[in-house]
Amino acid sequence: MTLQKRNIFKIIAVAIASVLLIAGISGCTTYAPQNGELPDGYIPEPSGKIKLQYTFTTTEQQKRSINDWISTFNKKYPDVHVTVEFNVSTTALQAQISAKTCGDIFFLDETQVYNYAVVQKALMPLDYYVEAYNIDLSNVFSAIMNMGVCEGRLYMVLRDYNHMLLHYNRDLVRGANLVDPIELEAKDEWTWDTFKQYCRVLTTDEDSEDKIVGGSMPLGYTPISVMFLEGWGGKYYDTADKKVFFKSDEKVLEGVLEMVGIVEENIFRYEPVDQNGTGAQGINTSAASRRDFSSYRTVFGSLVFPSFATIGREYETKGMDWDIVSMPATPVHKVGTGATGFVVFNGTKNKDAAAALTLSLYTPDGQRAYNGQEGGSVPNVRTLAEESFWRVPFEDRRDDPETGKNYYAFISYPEADTFGRIECVLPPEIAKIVTTALQNLVPNVVNGKMSADTLLDKLETEANDKWASIYTD
């Protein structure tokens, strides 16, 4: 079976399952539509003015995505006038929310939804508009949709679909007489054990003139580390009992030891999590330990779609053949997933129009508009997975098998997606303890500062004590 046909069958199978039950990934919340908040048979008629605020620094491509999305929306709803304010700081936005002077719609990442929706009660639930606007949520990748859900209510609409995958140097793989990973992926043979063996074969001796190492990733970055926390069958948290499990869950411990082991074996380089490379406790923090296209080369590295074009052009500037492939399948296949999106202010004076624009990102037309050019991203609706409009800026492997890129990796294995950010499944105080510990876990163990057992036991105790102290019944 070809990779393309296999992908089509996988997407159809997952879509059928979602029609039967719109369920999420292994998280703390599942969408539960509410009734009675709009009159029976209510037909909204969006019109009037609404304001959209975009936080974070905005590139010209991102502005084009938003403007194209709004232009497409206005073709259906010409009586709605949307103004956009770009580059709003999160500090300014927070002050405006408190003063109730913010826009009708604003931009968040998935880690902020709980705070704004449940703690501050600043967001308007959108689920009661889903039926009114005929939004087919079974067509949305459920992992992405549930990142906008809190306590069963839909608050945020995610703008795209992003999960972790690998880029790799095809020249080096070919030079080692190894089968292209994409061919193994097509046969469901691209597994964690196979990946480790590839890293062993590809890594050269320390004194080699042309040093090559199998892989390099920021293992302390939670969208990557959750693959190890959950990928061997463990469950590192329980929101009902308000506890985390790192040392006491043998499967979680097993996954963590796998993560540490590939670095201890010297077939993998640890990348510091922070951008300056200064927070990794002194292990592999030099430029040589990171992705490099010159003297010190790594074969496999991690990326998501927003970095795809930049990394690809780095390869091509050096004249290297390259491609992308899905994360290798762990024994219980898990892939860290995440996205950013838009929410509606609970104090909006124009609920119909604000809900209509926001929810339009869960429609094929909205996704084509938002993600239909470089600067866009992977569409979050299944029926667009095989289309070509988002497969930019390089040639598609389907059309150019020799030098085209494996865009399938961006929409592969949606059933394996799991929350990439720990802040999405744990209270903020607990998430901070866990993420801080994970950032330095591998270097602490490899440098001999603390054993994995001791570190995980300490993490579990600290997090559970904190959880018990702040969330007592």
pLDDT digit string, tens, across residues 67-90: 999 999 999 999 999 999 999 998
Model confidence band, residue 40 (pLDDT cutoffs 50, 70, 90): confident
When divided into structural domains, the chain yields a total of: 2
Confidence bin at 368 (pLDDT 50/70/90): very high
Radius of gyration of the chain (CA): 23
Provide the 3-class DSSP secondary structure of residue 391: coil
* 326 lies in the same domain as 431: yes
Are 21 and 49 found together in one domain? yes
93/118 same-domain check: yes
pLDDT tens profile 193-236: 999 999 999 999 877 777 899 999 999 999 999 999 999 999 99
Mean pLDDT, residues 397-420 taken together:
96
Average pLDDT over residues 114-127: 93
pLDDT at 29: 54
Statement: residue 4 has pLDDT above 60: no
Mean pLDDT of 317-324: 94
Amino acid 18: pLDDT: 39
Share of the chain above pLDDT 90, in %: 75
**Beta-carbon neighbour count of residue 177 at 10 Å?**
7
Q: Is residue 404 part of a domain?
A: no
CATH of the domain at 37: 3.40.190.10
* Residue 398 domain-assigned (yes or no): no
Domain boundary among 393, 413, 434: 393
Q: 173 and 192 share a domain?
A: yes
Identify the pLDDT of residue 14. 43
Higher pLDDT, 201 or 472: 201
- Asked whether residue 224 falls in the same domain as residue 322, the answer is yes
Q: What does the alpha-carbon distance between residue 456 and residue 459 come to, in Å, rounded to a whole number?
A: 5
Q: Tell me which of 294 and 423 has the higher pLDDT.
A: 423
Domain hosting residue 68, numbered range: 3-161+339-393
pLDDT band at 21 (very low <50, low <70, confident <90, very high): very low
The pairing of strands 162-163 and 417-419 is unpaired
| 209 and 284 assigned to the same domain | yes
Q: Which residues contact 179 (CB under 8 A, 6 or more apart)?
A: none
Co-location of 74 and 141 in the same domain: yes
Does residue 186 register a pLDDT over 70?
yes
Q: Is-contact 51 85, C-beta < 8 A?
A: yes
The verdict on 350 and 385 lying in the same domain is yes
Q: What per-residue confidence (pLDDT) applies to 432? A: 95
- Does 315 fall in a domain? yes
Q: Which of 211, 354, 179, 200 is nearest to 294 (CA)?
A: 211
Asked if residue 149 and residue 119 are part of one domain, the reply reads yes
How long a stretch of residues is the chain?
473
Question: 409 in a domain, yes or no?
Answer: no
Mean pLDDT of the 166-177 span: 96
The answer to whether residues 188 and 262 belong to one domain is yes
pLDDT at 472 over 90: no
Domain contains 412: no
- 322 and 362 in a single domain? The answer is no
The reply to whether 402 falls in a domain is no
Is the per-residue pLDDT at 351 higher than 60?
A: yes
For 131-168, what is each residue's pLDDT tens digit? 999 999 999 999 999 999 998 999 999 999 999 999 99
Q: In the prediction, which pLDDT does 16 show?
A: 40
Residues 127 and 28 in one domain: yes
Identify the residue with better confidence: 279 or 145. Answer: 145
- Model pLDDT, residue 461: 98
> What pTM value is reported for the model?
0.87
Asked if pLDDT for residue 287 goes beyond 70, the answer is no
When pLDDT is cut at 50, 70 and 90, the band that residue 289 belongs to is: very low
Q: Taking 50 as the threshold, does the pLDDT of residue 11 lie above it?
A: no
β-strand 165-169 against 322-326: which pairing, if any?
Answer: antiparallel
Strands (E), 203-328: 212-217, 237-238, 243-244, 268-270, 297-303, 322-326
Residue 284 has pLDDT above 50, yes or no: no
Average the pLDDT over 393-408 and give the result: 95
Is 301 part of any domain? yes
Among the listed residues 296, 291, 330, 312, the one whose alpha carbon sits nearest the alpha carbon of residue 394? 312
Q: Is 105 within the bounds of a domain?
A: yes
The pLDDT mean for the chain works out to: 87
